[in-house]
Amino acid sequence: MTINSNHLPEQANIRHPITVGEALQNWAKQIDRLEARWMLQSVLAVDAAFLVAHADRELSPDEAARYRQMLARRAAGEPVAYLTGERGFYDLILKVTPDVLIPRPETELLVETALSSIAPDRCSRVLDLGTGSGAIAITIAKHRPLAQVTAIDLSSRALAVARANAQAQAVDNVTFVQGDWYANLVAGEKFDVIVANPPYIAEGDPHLAQGDLRFEPNLALVAKHNGWDCIRQIITHAEAYLHRDGWLLLEHGYDQASACRELLEKSGFVSIFSRTDLAGIERVSGGQCGSFSTAECL
């Protein structure tokens, strides 16, 4: 979004007191209405219903200054989730910082797919590779309290955010591990489901210079070999970490579904599928640890 920050009220012109209604209508003309509400909710530490019910509530000078600063930073391009420090994902509100990718609605499809392959009445073992904010691991753990989830990330700063999210959600069935994909798993550890939303954007892709992506960690977005490096590593090594009939489920780029299915097939997976997101784009692909490789998949 490009916004002319000249349209924002100058500190010197602020007439105190200003009300909630004015803060939303007069100050945030250049900002998406929903985003302006999220920012004001964050400053006032209230929910959406409060703003509707208390349009006449006056902002203190400190609240007005903090809200104005958020509007200015948003106008300069910073993602609203980093400004408010949170983002809704599936049925949770998660803490996010610039150390983690902002959870996306399309990733809810991966969670939904994983949940449908994890029986609620069994102690399944689930592995989330590149957990970031912990969005996928924590949502699965919350909905499958009997499951034991291992969540891995290379970034210790991302893991700090993920741990804080698990604690805030009172989830105690996720174990966090720092590591490079499978490298730091205990030898011989096997899982029923492996999920991943790995980096899959090619270096130099023009999208990286647009919108929220400009502010997100490159480590979570960009993969070598034209966006394929991480997906390839995850698929080609997955079999050693999956129980027989275990599932590997991946989010990928808008144009990577068919090559992903091919890679799954070459790596011995069966029952290979792709699912489309709400925009009609094939966004999640997966497969089951094949029966021909029974010896390795016990």
Residues in the site for ligand GLN, rule: CB under 6 A?
101, 104, 197-201, 213, 221
Query: Within 13 A of 45's CA, how many CA atoms are on the CB side?
Result: 1
Q: Tell me whether residue 107 or residue 173 sits nearer to ligand GLN (CB atom).
A: 107
How near is the Cβ of 151 to ligand GLN at its closest, in Å?
A: 15
- Per-residue CA distances from 232 to 198, 202, 258, 296 (Å): 10, 13, 13, 19
3-state helix, strand, coil in the chain (%, to 5): 40, 20, 35
How near is the Cβ of 266 to ligand GLN at its closest, in Å?
A: 22
Q: Tell me whether residue 171 or residue 221 sits nearer to ligand GLN (CB atom).
A: 221
**What is the 8-class DSSP label of residue 24?**
H
> Is position 153 annotated in a ligand binding site?
yes
Q: Tell me whether residue 104 or residue 163 sits nearer to ligand GLN (CB atom).
A: 104
> Is position 181 annotated in a ligand binding site?
yes
Q: Tell me whether residue 164 or residue 208 sits nearer to ligand GLN (CB atom).
A: 208
What token pair was written down for 125? 């073992």
CA 245, CA 243: separation in Å to the nearest integer?
6
Q: Residues 6 or more apart from 182 whose CB is under 8 A from it?
A: 129, 152, 237, 240, 241
How near is the Cβ of 92 to ligand GLN at its closest, in Å?
A: 19
How near is the Cβ of 109 to ligand GLN at its closest, in Å?
A: 11
How near is the Cβ of 223 to ligand GLN at its closest, in Å?
A: 8
Note the helical H segments in 117-189. Answer: 135-143, 156-168
CA 221, CA 88: separation in Å to the nearest integer?
20
Q: What are the backbone dihedrals phi and psi of residue 241, each rounded to the nearest 5 degrees, phi first? A: -110, 5
What token pair was written down for 108? 């809810």
Q: Tell me whether residue 104 or residue 244 sits nearer to ligand GLN (CB atom).
A: 104
Q: Residues 6 or more apart from 49 whose CB is under 8 A from it?
A: none
> Is position 131 annotated in a ligand binding site?
yes
> Is position 38 annotated in a ligand binding site?
no
> Is position 17 annotated in a ligand binding site?
no
Q: Tell me whether residue 28 or residue 221 sits nearer to ligand GLN (CB atom).
A: 221
Structural element, H or E, at residue 42: helix 33-44
CA 205, CA 210: separation in Å to the nearest integer?
10
How near is the Cβ of 196 to ligand GLN at its closest, in Å?
A: 9
How near is the Cβ of 89 to ligand GLN at its closest, in Å?
A: 13
> Is position 132 annotated in a ligand binding site?
yes
> Is position 133 annotated in a ligand binding site?
yes
> Is position 271 annotated in a ligand binding site?
no
Q: Tell me whether residue 18 or residue 136 sits nearer to ligand GLN (CB atom).
A: 136
Annotated binding site for S-adenosyl-L-methionine, which residues? 130-134, 153, 181, 197
Q: Annotated binding site, which residues?
A: 130-134, 153, 181, 197-200
- Known binding-site residues for substrate equal 197-200
